[in-house]
Amino acid sequence: MKVVVIDYGMGNLHSVSKALETAGAEVLVSNRSGDLEMAEGIVLPGVGSFVQGMKHLVGLDLIDKLYQEVIIKKKPFLGICLGMQLAAKTGEEGGSVNGLGWIDAKVIRFDFQSNEYKVPHMGWDDVKFVGVSPLFAGLDSPATLYFVHSYHFVPADRKIVTGVCDYGDEFVVSVSKDNIHLFQFHPEKSQAKGLKILANFIDMYRNKE
């Protein structure tokens, strides 16, 4: 599967690309609209701020192109961390900011009264799978995966949730809706389990070819 990892200046492209290659994909790091047209799958990685992320996507003139490829043509899409959050309708960072709006969801900050739960939620935590997602085939639930984030994704429709984690309260870490798959954790940093999840993503669509 030919995958384009979107280069929008929001960090860690190298790790994601290498992990996808290791998992069996043919990877191109790009922000050119021609490359997105040719892609069989699109990955939006990213660390950093929601506002900056949207700004960069707008600046690169990628919003309509992504909509075309992911929503209209229904190409397999994987959003990781900030890439997950940007798929939401709104982000609550420095006021309310519009995201790509593909999923009816908002992105809110962890808000704890005591410092028993530190923010950011940083490190390895247990992900409990919800339902049976082919993305988690071959993994036991809970699976310990790597996180680094202060905001989290709250979808309106709980039926799309495929994974949750308990940090103070339960929060959503993985959703799948049609061709759109979103992870709050970093598969590209979660060693063997993460690579397995990426390989599952590739297999899921390779089988349909």
Partner 1 sequence: MLKNRIIPILLLKNGRCVKGRQFGNYRDTGAPVTAAKIYDAQRVDELMFLDILASVERRSVLLDIVTETAKECFMPLTVGGGVKTIEDMKILLAAGADKVSINTAAVEDPDFIKEAATYFGSANIVVSIDYKQNNDGSRQVYTHGGTKATGKDPLVWAGEVASLGAGEIVLTSIDREGMMLGYDLEFIKIITSALMIPVIAHGGAGTLADLKQGIVEGGASGVATASIFHFTDQSPIKARWFLKDNGVNVRL
Instruction: Please give the DSSP secondary-structure letter assigned to residue 120.
Output: S
Residue with Cβ nearer partner 1 (2 or 109)? 109
Residue with Cβ nearer partner 1 (47 or 71)? 47
What is the H or E stretch that residue 125 is in?
A: strand 121-129
Q: Which of 106, 27, 100 is nearest to 65 (CA)?
A: 100
Q: How far is the CB of 165 from partner 1 (least distance, A)?
A: 9
From candidates 191, 203, 205, 206, binder to partner 1 by CB under 8 A: 191
Whole-number Å distance between alpha carbons of 39 and 61: 17
Angle at 94 between CA 174 and CA 31, to 5 degrees: 60
* Interface mask toward partner 1 for 145-184; x: CB under 8 A: -x-xxx---------------xx-----------------
Quick one: angle between helices 13-22 and 191-206, nearest 10? Answer: 70
Residue ranges in 15-54 that form contacts with partner 1 under rule CB under 8 A: 15, 18-19, 22, 47-50, 52
For the chain, the straight-line distance linking the first and the last C-alpha, in angstroms and rounded, comes to 9
Q: How far is the CB of 15 from partner 1 (least distance, A)?
A: 5
What SS3 class is residue 4?
strand
From candidates 31, 176, 190, 200, binder to partner 1 by CB under 8 A: 190
Q: Which residues are catalytic?
A: 81, 186, 188
Chain contacts with partner 1 (rule: CB under 8 A): 9, 11-15, 18-19, 22, 47-50, 52, 82, 112, 115, 118-126, 144, 146, 148-150, 166-167, 186, 188-191, 194-195
